[in-house]
Amino acid sequence: MKHLFTLLFSFLLLQGIQAQTLPYFLTVDEAAYTPLENAVSVNNGEVWDDLDIQTPLGFNFQLWGQTTSTLFWYGELTAFNIAGLPDVNVTPALIAFGADLIDRGYESDVSQSQISYKTEGEPGSRIFKMEWKNAGFFEDPSGTAFTNLQVWLYEGSNDIELHFGSTQLNDQEVFSELSGPMIGFIDQFFVANDGLFQNLYYLTGSVDQPTFQSITLAGVDTLFHTLNGVPDSGFVYRFSTVVDVEDPAQAAYNVQVFPTLVQDVLTIDISNQSGLSEKQAQFTVTDLTGRVLRNGSVTAERTQVNLSGLPSGMYGVHVFSAAGIAESRKIWKE
């Protein structure tokens, strides 16, 4: 898998509201798109549009810190691929693909677009996968535009991945007044109040180096610029959970990153924990736009990272275990 881009949400000063700390770390990667096989069909050969879908995951999963073993896709309420907790009035929500998808066979009443899901793997490391295969767009009068998309949820790490397959738009304007699909999160989605929300965090800009913007409900009329198109087939957006670095009990590993004020050399210390080096831990150093400036392996108890040549300012240091993020820190370069 080819690493392309990383972005730590919590470093962004989000426009329009007080700066927020979001519980995810974004990585843009590439991996071959493989359609699901032997999966459970949602539509069972029937044509569909704006389906409400309840999917059992087969394990407990945390979405924005809230635990559930089932996801509910609010198709009828939103006409988007938005998932949250079932049977609640207020839920966090994942916006997997903000476009009004529809079965390409809707007019002929013969389904051409399959929705399916499956759970794979051994207990403790299972992956829930859901796919929209050959889905059309409601706003495409030609009926020729389509997309393929999978959502993966990881047991244990609570990571989320969006896997993009082949998409063909044929110059059709299928995203209403938006520049591309809306992808992101809602911290509080008020299901009982017709889908009102507290804060919306969405990706904008290029598909290979997206950045995040945020708006409240009051500013939704200003939302036009989402992604500049649809990610190519093989793109993967991974949202990894970030541990609470202020609470060591929440960390999977006791990793130390110092000093906070760096002249030229940064130290990553894993001497007070066990097992991380054997897991081939990695580190990245990013600027506040998410651009990776330094990266490498953490294989010794103390790994030194040379930051000479970087301009003065604030940077992010992220240490990854095999299971996900072990530590994320802000540092300042003199």
pLDDT in tens, 259-281: 888 999 999 887 765 555 545 57
Window from 58-72, 102-116, 216-230 with minimum mean pLDDT: 216-230
pLDDT at 289: 59
Q: Is the pLDDT of residue 171 over 90?
A: no
Q: Is the pLDDT of residue 147 over 80?
A: yes
Q: Is the pLDDT of residue 117 over 60?
A: yes
Q: Is the pLDDT of residue 66 over 50?
A: yes
pLDDT at 322: 56
Widest distance between CA atoms in the chain? 67
Q: Is the pLDDT of residue 77 over 90?
A: no
Q: Is the pLDDT of residue 287 over 90?
A: no
Under a CB-based contact definition with an 8 Å cutoff, are residues 321 and 1 in contact? no
pLDDT in tens, 17-27: 333 456 787 88
| Range of 41-45, 211-215, 322-326 with top mean pLDDT | 41-45
Query: From CA 90, how far away is CA 102, in angstroms rounded?
Result: 26
Window from 14-18, 37-41, 60-64, 68-72 with minimum mean pLDDT: 14-18
Query: From CA 11, how far away is CA 43, in angstroms rounded?
Result: 41
Under a CB-based contact definition with an 8 Å cutoff, are residues 165 and 150 in contact? yes
Q: Is the pLDDT of residue 310 over 70?
A: yes
Q: Is the pLDDT of residue 6 over 60?
A: no
Under a CB-based contact definition with an 8 Å cutoff, are residues 77 and 186 in contact? no
Query: From CA 266, how far away is CA 333, in angstroms rounded?
Result: 10
How confident is residue 9, by pLDDT bands cut at 50, 70 and 90?
very low
Supply 255's token pair: 């990793």
Q: Is the pLDDT of residue 68 over 90?
A: yes
Buried b (16+ CB within 10 A) or exposed e, 121-159: eeeeebbbbbbbbbbbbbebeebebbbbbbbbbbbebbb
pLDDT at 274: 52
Q: Is the pLDDT of residue 15 over 70?
A: no
**Which residues in 103-217 belong to E strands, given as ranges?**
114-120, 127-137, 147-154, 160-164, 182-190, 196-197, 199-204, 211-216
Is the pLDDT higher at 26 or at 125? 125
Supply 15's token pair: 């426009």
Sign of CA dihedral 210, 216, 219, 220: positive
* Residue ranges of domains in the chain, CATH in brackets: 2-241 (no CATH), 248-333 (2.60.40.1930)
What burial class does residue 309 get, using C-beta atoms within 10 Å of its C-beta: 0-12 exposed, 13-18 middle, 19+ buried?
A: exposed
- Tell me the pLDDT of the chain averaged across its residues: 83
pLDDT at 157: 84
pTM, to two decimals: 0.74
Supply 323's token pair: 């299971």
Is the pLDDT higher at 9 or at 22? 22
pLDDT at 325: 57
Residue type, 176: S
pLDDT at 29: 87
Is the pLDDT higher at 53 or at 199? 53
pLDDT at 213: 77
Q: Is the pLDDT of residue 113 over 80?
A: yes
Query: From CA 258, how far away is CA 247, in angstroms rounded?
Result: 17
pLDDT at 326: 61
* Proportion of the chain above pLDDT 90, given as a percent: 46
